[in-house]
C-alpha cells in the first residue's frame, strides 16, 4: 500500500498506485521545456525493487554468468521505465544493489563490475557508443532505457577502475571497486556519477580517495544532488551538497534495513526532506525477510511513500513534485501563538515565574497542574544506545529528562489514557554500533510492553493519541524531525523551529496512535 501525506493541517489518505498500460506519448526535450514554463511541477518516479539475487554471492563466476543475472533485473527495470513513461515521468530512481545484489566478497563481485570513465573528463552516450569502452554492458542498457523512456534515469551498480602500484592506496589486485550511482539524461548521455563514500560493511568496495559532490542539471527542475543509503547520516556528501542553494532535489538509491524506533527508512527519508527543505526521491531495495523496505517521494509538506513487509513484489511510486519546495522549518513562528498549549510552551521556555521548572507541582496560567520530575528516571537500550527516560503516565503534563548537556522537554495532553507505556528519552553521545557517529536525541516513544525495560523495542502499532510540544537545547542545527504513527504511517509536524535557543516539534492532533516522535540531532564534528 502506498500512503500519501499532505501538509501540517491535513490528515492521511491511502490509495493503491497502479501502473496502467496506455499508449506511450513521446515528448522531445524541447516539448518538455516548453511545458515546464507552464507549470511549477515535474513528474518523478522511484521503484522499490525485489531484486533477483545470486544464489551464492561468495562463489566465483564468469562475466557471462554475471550478465545473465544482472539482465534479469535490468529487464524489470525496463518494464518500470516504460510504465513510468506512460505517466509522463521525467526522472526515475532505482535502488542500491538492485542490479547485482549484495553479500559479495571483493573477488566474487568482480565479474559484476562495469568499467566507469569519468563523466567530468569524457562525454559519453553508452547506448549510441557501445564499443567505446570494454565491460560496459550494464551502462549501455541503462542508457538505452533512458532514451526509450525519454526520461532522466538514476541507477546503482558496481564499477571498477584500474590503478597502478605508484598509487600508494592502490589495492593489491590493481583496481578500485566502487559502489556507484549513475545518472543518464533523457537522450542517454551519462551526466553524473557518484561513488558511495560512507560504506556500510561493504567489503567488496573501496572508499573513494576524495568525496564526490555530484550535482546534475535537468531542464525540468534545475539541480539535483546524489548520494547513497548510509551517506544520509553524514556531513559529506549529504550536507555539503546543500551548500549549493540551487540544489533543491536529492536522488537517493538505498538498500536500507529498517531499525525502529528511530531509523526506519521512511522516517529518515521524510525527515531529511523536512529538515533541509528539499525534495527527496528515495528508492529502497525490497527484501522484507531482511527488513528492507521503505521508499518514497518526499517534500517538506507532502509525501508519498511505500512500506510493505508482507508482499514480496516490487512497487513503482509516481508523484507530481514542486520545482521549488516550500519549507516547513521555521514557519511555526508565524502561526497563532495565542493557542493555549503554545502559550504554555513559550512561558516554560521563558522561565515564567508562574511555571517554575524546578518545583514538583506548578501552575501555568493558574488553570492546569503540570507535574515535573514526579516520574522516576530509568535507563533502557534504544538503537544500541543507553537512553535515560521518564515514563509518560498522565493525561497531561510537562516532563523533562537530561543527559550530558542535553535536556529534553515534553508538554502534552491526551484525550484518553490507553493501556500502553510511553516514555520520554534522551541520549547525548557517540553511537558506536553499526557505525560510529555522534547524536543528540529527544524521543517520545511507545514501549514494547508495560515494563521499563521494553522501552526502545521495535514497535509498529499503537493507539495512544497525543497533542504535544517536544523540545531540547540542542548543540547542533542539523536536526531530523521523526514522526511515525501506527501501521508505519508518517505524519507531518504542525510546527518546527527554534525558539529561545531550543529546537521544538509541535503536533496538535494525530490521526492514529503515536509510535515515535523524535528530534534526531547530528553533531558531525564530534564523530
Single out the catalytic residue among 193, 229, 355, 447: 229
Q: In this structure, what C-alpha cell is assigned to residue 192? A: 553524473
User: Which secondary structure element, helix H or strand E, spans residue 348, and what is its range?
Assistant: helix 340-350
Mark whether 229 is an active-site residue.
yes
Query: DSSP H helical segments within 102-176, as ranges?
Result: 137-149
* CB within 8 Å of 302: residues ≥ 6 apart: 4, 5, 6, 7, 492
User: 196 an active-site residue?
Assistant: yes
Which of the residues 96, 202, 491, 507 is marked catalytic?
96
Q: What is the 3-state secondary structure (H, E, C) of 240-302?
A: HHCCCCCEEEEEEEECCCCECCCECHHHHHHHHHHHHCCEEEEEEECEHHHCECCEEEECCCC
Q: Is residue 430 classed as helix, strand or coil in its secondary structure?
A: strand
Cβ–Cβ < 8 Å for 249, 224? yes
Nearest-5° Cα angle at 224, 226 to 494:
95
Question: Are 473 and 407 in contact, with CB atoms under 8 Å apart?
Answer: yes
Name every residue whose Cβ is closer than 8 Å to that of residue 122 and which is 6 or more positions away in sequence: none
The percent helix, strand, coil of the chain (3-state, each to 5) is: 20, 35, 45
| Closest among 207, 222, 284, 278 to 253, alpha carbons compared | 284
| Spatial separation of the C-alpha atoms in residues 60 and 110, rounded to whole Å | 9
Catalytic residue among 196, 248, 344, 446: 196
CA distance 475 to 500: 13
- Of 87, 92, 48, the C-alpha closest to 315 is 48
The answer for residues whose C-beta is within 8 angstroms of residue 118's C-beta and 6 or more apart is 193
State the catalytic residues: 96, 196, 229
Amino acid at each position: 500500500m502506498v500512503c500519501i501525506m499532505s501538509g501540517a493541517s491535513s490528515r492521511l489518505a491511502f490509495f493503491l498506485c497502479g501502473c496502467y498500460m496506455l499508449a506511450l506519448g513521446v515528448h522531445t526535450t524541447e516539448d518538455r521545456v516548453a511545458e515546464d514554463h507552464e507549470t511549477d511541477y515535474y513528474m518523478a518516479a522511484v521503484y522499490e525493487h525485489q531484486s533477483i539475487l545470486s544464489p551464492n554471492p561468495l562463489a566465483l563466476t564468469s562475466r557471462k554468468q554475471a550478465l545473465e543475472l544482472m539482465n534479469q533485473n535490468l529487464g524489470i527495470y525496463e518494464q518500470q521505465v516504460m510504465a513510468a513513461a506512460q505517466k509522463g515521468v521525467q526522472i526515475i530512481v532505482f535502488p542500491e544493489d538492485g542490479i547485482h545484489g549484495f553479500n559479495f566478497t571483493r573477488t566474487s563481485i568482480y565479474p559484476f563490475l562495469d568499467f566507469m570513465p569519468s563523466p567530468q573528463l569524457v562525454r559519453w552516450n553508452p547506448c549510441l557508443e557501445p564499443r567505446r569502452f570494454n565491460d560496459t554492458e550494464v551502462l549501455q542498457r541503462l542508457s538505452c532505457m533512458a532514451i526509450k523512456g525519454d526520461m532522466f534515469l538514476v541507477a546503482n551498480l558496481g564499477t571498477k577502475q584500474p590503478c597502478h602500484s605508484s598509487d600508494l592506496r592502490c589495492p593489491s589486485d590493481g583496481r578500485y571497486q566502487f559502489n556507484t550511482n549513475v545518472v543518464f539524461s533523457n537522450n542517454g548521455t551519462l551526466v553524473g556519477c557518484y561513488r558511495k563514500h560512507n560504506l556500510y560493511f561493504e567489503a567488496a568496495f573501496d572508499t573513494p580517495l576524495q568525496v564526490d559532490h555530484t550535482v546534475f542539471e535537468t531542464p525540468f527542475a534545475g539541480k539535483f544532488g546524489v548520494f547513497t543509503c548510509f551517506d544520509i547520516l553524514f556531513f559529506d556528501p549529504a550536507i555539503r551538497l546543500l551548500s549549493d542553494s540551487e540544489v533543491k532535489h536529492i536522488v537517493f538509491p538505498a538498500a536500507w534495513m529498517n531499525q525502529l524506533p528511530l531509523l526506519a527508512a521512511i522516517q529518515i527519508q521524510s525527515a531529511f526532506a523536512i529538515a533541509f527543505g528539499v525534495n527527496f526521491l528515495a528508492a529502497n531495495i525490497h527484501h522484507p525477510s531482511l527488513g528492507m523496505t521503505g521508499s518514497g517521494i518526499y517534500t517538506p509538506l507532502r509525501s508519498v511513500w511505500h512500506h510493505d513487509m508482507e508482499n514480496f513484489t516490487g512497487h513503482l511510486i509516481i508523484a507530481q513534485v514542486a520545482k521549488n519546495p516550500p519549507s516547513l522549518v521555521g514557519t511555526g513562528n508565524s502561526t497563532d501563538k495565542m493557542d493555549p498549549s503554545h502559550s504554555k510552551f513559550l512561558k516554560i521556555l521563558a522561565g515564567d515565574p508562574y511555571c517554575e521548572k524546578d518545583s514538583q507541582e506548578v501552575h501555568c496560567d493558574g488553570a492546569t497542574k503540570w507535574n515535573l520530575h514526579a516520574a522516576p528516571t530509568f535507563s533502557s537500550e534504544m538503537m544500541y544506545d543507553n537512553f535515560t527516560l521518564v515514563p509518560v503516565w498522565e493525561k497531561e503534563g510537562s516532563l523533562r529528562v537530561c543527559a550530558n548537556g542535553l535536556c529534553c522537554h515534553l508538554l502534552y495532553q491526551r484525550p484518553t489514557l490507553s493501556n500502553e507505556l510511553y516514555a520520554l528519552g534522551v541520549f547525548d553521545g557517540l553511537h558506536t554500533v553499526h557505525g560510529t557517529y555522534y547524536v543528540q536525541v529527544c524521543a517520545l516513544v511507545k514501549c514494547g510492553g508495560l515494563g521499563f525495560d521494553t522501552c526502545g523495542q521495535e514497535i509498529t502499532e499503537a493507539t495512544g493519541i497525543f497533542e504535544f510540544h517536544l523540545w531540547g537545547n540542542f548543540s547542533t542545527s542539523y536536526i531530523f524531525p521523526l514522526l511515525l504513527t501506527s501501521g508505519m504511517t508518517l505524519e507531518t509536524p504542525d510546527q518546527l523551529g527554534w525558539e529561545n535557543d531550543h529546537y521544538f516539534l509541535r503536533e496538535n492532533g494525530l490521526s492514529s496512535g503515536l509510535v515515535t516522535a523524535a528530534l534526531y540531532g547530528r553533531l558531525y564534528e564530534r564523530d
